Amino acid sequence: MTEDILSAAAITNNLGTRVIGQRILYYPSLTSTMEIAREEAQQGAVEGTVIIAGEQTGGRGRLKRVWLSPRGNIALSIILYPSLSHLSSLIMLASLAVVHSIESATGLKPRVKWPNDVLINGKKVCGILIESDVQRTRVNYTIIGIGINVNLRLADFPEIQPVATSLAEELRAEVSPLSVVRHLLAEVERLYFTLSAGGSLYEEWRSSLVTLGKKVRVTAGETVYEGVAESVARDGSLLLRGLDGKLTRIVVGDVTLRD
């Protein structure tokens, strides 16, 4: 699979979107798409601008974790200028867009682990990072960073093999990153327009969660909670029924599923 298959021209050719992906900045190799996206957003880049790297060498996920993205995988960031009222829905938008795009491109059936890890057969195939610059009641910009393990060879990375997978590992065949990216950008736009028109993504996102009803451990800063993931609120926060019977709302945290 050659590097030039994934290019700005190939992505935008008959893409069919009006906003998302109409401006693509493609880099064969990049430290972090989030860094470039931040610079672009601060300079007033057009909404829907996508920064995508053939290879990302210094990417990071949530909680400052390293995110591996060698060639043949997907590392991209999308610049949006949403209203403040839509901010909490963007994590739903991003995870659902990934789920839909993987289903469309491969036929696989991903699920979401709260808040935004996309899993296939219980292993992580995608990480999502959202950064927003907010001043009082105004969102200056939001950047959605998405990393998808498309053709990642897990045998080359034994340290993540127990918890991660890739589309190619699941299908036992190479997958076109270009196809997945084009499906992804179309889905991001469709769901973004749904929000803009007053629609809700909450019900579908809740239904996609593998977390609900499971025993979990949640690390939120220095605090660790254990209990059953009972539900999620409409703002995306997790409602955890603790071992003492108390219901706790968790806005940000890292979930480990327990047997």
- Out of 1.20.1510.10, 3.40.50.1970, 2.40.110.10, 2.30.30.100, the CATH code matching 211-257 is 2.30.30.100
pLDDT score recorded for residue 136: 85
Answer whether 0.85 is exceeded by the pTM: yes
10-residue mean pLDDT series, the chain (259 residues)? 70 96 95 95 98 82 58 94 95 98 97 94 94 93 97 89 94 95 98 97 97 93 93 96 94 85
By residue count, the chain amounts to 259
Residues 6+ apart with CB under 8 A from 206: 212, 231, 232
pLDDT score recorded for residue 132: 96
Domain segments of the chain as ranges = 3-206, 211-257
- DSSP category for residue 180: H
Fold of 3-206: BirA Bifunctional Protein; domain 2 (3.30.930)
Judging by beta carbons within 10 Å of its beta carbon (0-12, 13-18, 19+), is residue 98 exposed, middle or buried? buried
pLDDT score recorded for residue 221: 85
Quote the CA–CA distance of 178 and 162 in Å, as a whole number.
27
pLDDT score recorded for residue 23: 97
pLDDT score recorded for residue 131: 96
CA atoms within 13 A on the CB side of 69: 30
Quote the CA–CA distance of 42 and 59 in Å, as a whole number.
20
- Domains 3-206 and 211-257 alike in fold: no
